[in-house]
Structure 1
Amino acid sequence: MLFSIMSGRRIHSVLVGLLCLVIASTICCSSSVGTSSILCLESERHVLLRFKQGLVDESNALASWKSEKDCCKWRGIACNNQTGHVITLNLCIFCDDYMYAATPLIGEIDPSLLELRHLNHLDLSFNDFGGMIPKFIGSLSQLKELKLAQANFSGSVPPQLGNLSNLHTLDLSWNEFLSSENIEWLSHLSSLRYLNMSGVDLSKVVNWPQSLSKLTSLIELQLSWCHLPDVNLRSLSFINSSTSLQVLDLSQNSLINSSIFHWIANVSNNFVHIQLSDNDLQGPIPAHVFTSMVSLGSLDLSGNLLEGGMTKAFQNLCSLESLVLASNQFSENIQDSLETLSCAEDTLESLDLSGNWFWGSFPELTGFSKLRELRLHDNTLNGSIPESVGQLSCLEHLDLFGNSLNAVITEAHLLNLSSFKHLDVSNNTALSINLSSDWNPPFQLDTLGMSSCKVGPAFPKWIQTQRNLTRLSLDNASISDSLPSNFWDLFSDLEELDLSRNKIRGKLPDLPSFPPGLITLYLSNNMFSGSLSSLCATQAPQLNFLDLSENLLSGELPNCWMSFQLLDILYLGKNKLSGKLPSSLGNLEAISVLGLHSNNFSGELPSLKNCTRLTILDLGNNNLSGKIPSWINQNLKYLRALRLRSNMFNGIIPFSMCGLTTIHVLDLSQNNISGALPYCFNNILALADDATYDIMNVELVWKGIEIEFGENLQFLRSIDISSNYLVGEIPQSITSMSKLNSLNLSRNNLTGKVPENFGNLKKLESLDLSRNQISGRIPTSFSSLNFLEVLDVSHNHLSGEIPLGTQLQTFNASAYMGNLGLCGPPLTPNCSGDGTTQVDDNKEHDNDGLINLGFFISTVLGFITGFWVVCGSLVLKSSWRYAYFKFLDDSRDWVYVKAVVYKAKMQERLRR
Structure 2
Amino acid sequence: MFSQISIVLLLLLCANTFHRRTCGTNLQLLCNENDRFALQIFKLGVGNHSNMLPSWSTEQDCCVWKGVHCDNTTGRVTRLDLHQQHLEVELRLESCHLTNISPSIKYVNFSSLSTLDLSGNHFFTELPYWLLNITTISHIDLSFNLLQGPIPKSLLSLRNLVFLKLNNNEISGSIPEWLGQHEQLQYLGLSENVFNGSIPSSIGNLSSLVDLSIRGLPHISENVLLLDLSDNSFSGPISPFFCHKLGRETSLDYLDISSNLFTGEVPDCWEYWKGLSFLFMQNNKLTGEVPQSMASFVDIIILNLSNNCLSGNFSLDLSNLKNLEYINLKRNNLSGAVPTRMPSGMEVMLLGSNQFEGNIPPQLSWQEHKEQFTIHFRSIWYTKGQELEYRDYGLLRTLDLSCNNLSGEIPPQVFSLDQLQTLNSSRNHLTGKMSREIGSMKNLESLDLSSNKLYGEIPTSISSLSFLSFLNLSNNDFTGQIPIGTQLQTFSASSYAGNPKLCGAPLPKNCTEASAIADGSKQNGGSNDEAFQIESLYLGIGVGFVVGFWGLWGSLFLNRTWRHTYIRFLNHVVDQIHVFVVVKWNSLKGTQ
In the alignment, the residues of structure 2 paired with residue 566 and residue 579 of structure 1 have an alpha-carbon distance, to the nearest angstrom, of 25
Query: CA 1:720/1:602 → structure 2, altered by over 3 Å: closer, same or farther?
Result: same
Answer yes or no: is 1:662 the counterpart of 2:345.
Answer: yes
Of 419, 436, 449, 1:756 maps to 436
1:568 Cα shift?
Answer: 1.1
Query: CA 1:812/1:591 → structure 2, altered by over 3 Å: closer, same or farther?
Result: same
Q: 2:431, 2:452 within 8 Å by CA — same for their partners in 1? A: yes
**Partner residue, 1:574:** 259
Give 1:721-736 correspondences, 5 Å limit. 721-736=401-416
In the alignment, the residues of structure 1 paired with residue 259 and residue 199 of structure 2 have an alpha-carbon distance, to the nearest angstrom, of 23
1:544 Cα shift?
Answer: 1.5
Q: 1:519, 1:545 within 8 Å by CA — same for their partners in 2? A: no
Q: What amino acid does structure 1 have at the position aligned with 2:300? A: L
Q: 1:514, 1:540 within 8 Å by CA — same for their partners in 2? A: no
Q: What amino acid does structure 2 have at the position aligned with 1:705? A: Q
Q: 1:699, 1:707 within 8 Å by CA — same for their partners in 2? A: yes
**Partner residue, 1:544:** 225
**Partner residue, 1:498:** none
Give 1:223-234 correspondences, 5 Å limit. none
**Partner residue, 1:869:** none
Q: What amino acid does structure 2 have at the position aligned with 1:626? A: G
Q: What amino acid does structure 1 have at the position aligned with 2:233? A: L
Q: What amino acid does structure 2 have at the position aligned with 1:628? A: F
1:558 Cα shift?
Answer: 2.9
Answer yes or no: is 1:561 the counterpart of 2:247.
Answer: no
Q: What amino acid does structure 2 have at the position aligned with 1:697? A: R
In the alignment, the residues of structure 2 paired with residue 816 and residue 707 of structure 1 have an alpha-carbon distance, to the nearest angstrom, of 23
**Partner residue, 2:334:** 649
Give 1:478-557 correspondences, 5 Å limit. 488=174, 506-507=188-189, 509=191, 513-515=195-197, 529-531=211-213, 533-535=215-217, 537-538=218-219, 540-557=221-238
**Partner residue, 2:357:** 674
Q: What amino acid does structure 2 have at the position aligned with 1:708? A: E
Count of aligned positions:
339
**Partner residue, 2:133:** none
Answer yes or no: is 1:610 the counterpart of 2:301.
Answer: no
Of 461, 485, 492, 1:805 maps to 485
**Partner residue, 1:59:** none
Q: Deviations over 1:504-556 (max 9, x none)?
A: 995553985334xx899999999795445423x53522221111111111111
Answer yes or no: is 1:601 the counterpart of 2:286.
Answer: yes
Answer yes or no: is 1:744 the counterpart of 2:440.
Answer: no
Query: CA 1:778/1:520 → structure 2, altered by over 3 Å: closer, same or farther?
Result: farther
In the alignment, the residues of structure 2 paired with residue 705 and residue 554 of structure 1 have an alpha-carbon distance, to the nearest angstrom, of 30
**Partner residue, 2:124:** none
1:802 Cα shift?
Answer: 0.5
Greater shift in the superposed pair: 566-575 or 817-826: 566-575
Q: 2:239, 2:265 within 8 Å by CA — same for their partners in 1? A: no
Answer yes or no: is 1:632 the counterpart of 2:318.
Answer: yes
Q: Deviations over 1:197-240 (max 9, x none)?
A: xxxxxxxxxxxxxxxxxxxxxxxxxxxxxxxxxxxxxxxxxxxx
**Partner residue, 1:592:** 277
Q: 2:290, 2:316 within 8 Å by CA — same for their partners in 1? A: no
In the alignment, the residues of structure 2 paired with residue 586 and residue 532 of structure 1 have an alpha-carbon distance, to the nearest angstrom, of 25
Q: 2:270, 2:296 within 8 Å by CA — same for their partners in 1? A: no
Query: CA 1:524/1:729 → structure 2, altered by over 3 Å: closer, same or farther?
Result: farther
Q: 1:524, 1:548 within 8 Å by CA — same for their partners in 2? A: no
In the alignment, the residues of structure 1 paired with residue 202 and residue 375 of structure 2 have an alpha-carbon distance, to the nearest angstrom, of 15
In the alignment, the residues of structure 2 paired with residue 820 and residue 585 of structure 1 have an alpha-carbon distance, to the nearest angstrom, of 52
Q: Deviations over 1:621-652 (max 9, x none)?
A: 1111111224222x211111100011111111
Q: 2:349, 2:400 within 8 Å by CA — same for their partners in 1? A: yes
Give 1:65-80 correspondences, 5 Å limit. none
Q: What amino acid does structure 2 have at the position aligned with 1:836? A: I
In the alignment, the residues of structure 2 paired with residue 688 and residue 522 of structure 1 have an alpha-carbon distance, to the nearest angstrom, of 43
Q: 2:276, 2:300 within 8 Å by CA — same for their partners in 1? A: yes
Of 333, 353, 377, 1:696 maps to 377
Query: CA 1:508/1:755 → structure 2, altered by over 3 Å: closer, same or farther?
Result: farther
1:579 Cα shift?
Answer: 1.1
In the alignment, the residues of structure 1 paired with residue 308 and residue 328 of structure 2 have an alpha-carbon distance, to the nearest angstrom, of 11
SS in structure 2 of the partner of residue 738 of structure 1: coil
Q: What's the TM-score, normalizing by structure 2?
A: 0.53
Query: CA 1:508/1:719 → structure 2, altered by over 3 Å: closer, same or farther?
Result: farther
Residue ranges of structure 1 left out of the alignment (5+ in a row): 1-460, 462-481, 492-502, 842-912
Q: 1:523, 1:547 within 8 Å by CA — same for their partners in 2? A: no
**Partner residue, 1:182:** none
**Partner residue, 1:826:** 506
In the alignment, the residues of structure 2 paired with residue 525 and residue 669 of structure 1 have an alpha-carbon distance, to the nearest angstrom, of 37
Q: 2:215, 2:235 within 8 Å by CA — same for their partners in 1? A: no
Give 1:260-299 correspondences, 5 Å limit. none
1:716 Cα shift?
Answer: 1.3
1:581 Cα shift?
Answer: 1.1
Q: What amino acid does structure 2 have at the position aligned with 1:664? A: E
Q: 1:524, 1:547 within 8 Å by CA — same for their partners in 2? A: no
Query: CA 1:611/1:532 → structure 2, altered by over 3 Å: closer, same or farther?
Result: farther
In the alignment, the residues of structure 2 paired with residue 559 and residue 808 of structure 1 have an alpha-carbon distance, to the nearest angstrom, of 55
Q: Deviations over 1:656-691 (max 9, x none)?
A: 2xx33212211000111111111121x13x133451
Q: 1:532, 1:557 within 8 Å by CA — same for their partners in 2? A: no
Give 1:838-853 correspondences, 5 Å limit. 838=519
In the alignment, the residues of structure 2 paired with residue 832 and residue 524 of structure 1 have an alpha-carbon distance, to the nearest angstrom, of 67
Q: What amino acid does structure 1 have at the position aligned with 2:407? A: V
Give 1:22-421 correspondences, 5 Å limit. none
SS in structure 2 of the partner of residue 552 of structure 1: coil
Q: What amino acid does structure 1 have at the position aligned with 2:350? A: D
In the alignment, the residues of structure 1 paired with residue 276 and residue 203 of structure 2 have an alpha-carbon distance, to the nearest angstrom, of 19
In the alignment, the residues of structure 1 paired with residue 518 and residue 201 of structure 2 have an alpha-carbon distance, to the nearest angstrom, of 66
Answer yes or no: is 1:717 the counterpart of 2:397.
Answer: yes
Residue ranges of structure 2 left out of the alignment (5+ in a row): 1-152, 154-163, 165-170, 178-184, 524-592
Of 778, 787, 796, 2:467 maps to 787
Q: What amino acid does structure 1 have at the position aligned with 2:398? A: S
1:694 Cα shift?
Answer: 4.0
Q: Deviations over 1:797-818 (max 9, x none)?
A: 0001101111100000000011
Q: What amino acid does structure 1 have at the position aligned with 2:191? A: P
Query: CA 1:543/1:506 → structure 2, altered by over 3 Å: closer, same or farther?
Result: farther
1:747 Cα shift?
Answer: 0.5
Query: CA 1:799/1:789 → structure 2, altered by over 3 Å: closer, same or farther?
Result: same
Q: Among all aligned residue pairs of Structure 1 and Structure 2, give the percentage whose two residues are the same amino acid.
A: 34
Q: 2:358, 2:407 within 8 Å by CA — same for their partners in 1? A: yes
Query: CA 1:514/1:815 → structure 2, altered by over 3 Å: closer, same or farther?
Result: same
**Partner residue, 1:706:** 387
SS in structure 2 of the partner of residue 559 of structure 1: helix
1:708 Cα shift?
Answer: 2.1
Bigger relative contact order, structure 1 or 2 (CA pairs below 8 A, ≥6 apart): 2
In the alignment, the residues of structure 2 paired with residue 576 and residue 776 of structure 1 have an alpha-carbon distance, to the nearest angstrom, of 47
In the alignment, the residues of structure 2 paired with residue 603 and residue 705 of structure 1 have an alpha-carbon distance, to the nearest angstrom, of 29
Q: 2:430, 2:454 within 8 Å by CA — same for their partners in 1? A: yes
Of 444, 450, 453, 1:773 maps to 453
**Partner residue, 2:538:** none
Q: What's the TM-score, normalizing by structure 1?
A: 0.35
- CA RMSD in angstroms, aligned pairs only: 3.2
Q: Deviations over 1:136-186 (max 9, x none)?
A: xxxxxxxxxxxxxxxxxxxxxxxxxxxxxxxxxxxxxxxxxxxxxxxxxxx
Q: 1:593, 1:615 within 8 Å by CA — same for their partners in 2? A: yes
Q: 1:574, 1:597 within 8 Å by CA — same for their partners in 2? A: yes
Q: 1:519, 1:543 within 8 Å by CA — same for their partners in 2? A: no
Q: 1:559, 1:584 within 8 Å by CA — same for their partners in 2? A: no
In the alignment, the residues of structure 2 paired with residue 786 and residue 488 of structure 1 have an alpha-carbon distance, to the nearest angstrom, of 58
Q: Deviations over 1:17-68 (max 9, x none)?
A: xxxxxxxxxxxxxxxxxxxxxxxxxxxxxxxxxxxxxxxxxxxxxxxxxxxx
Q: What amino acid does structure 2 have at the position aligned with 1:696? A: F
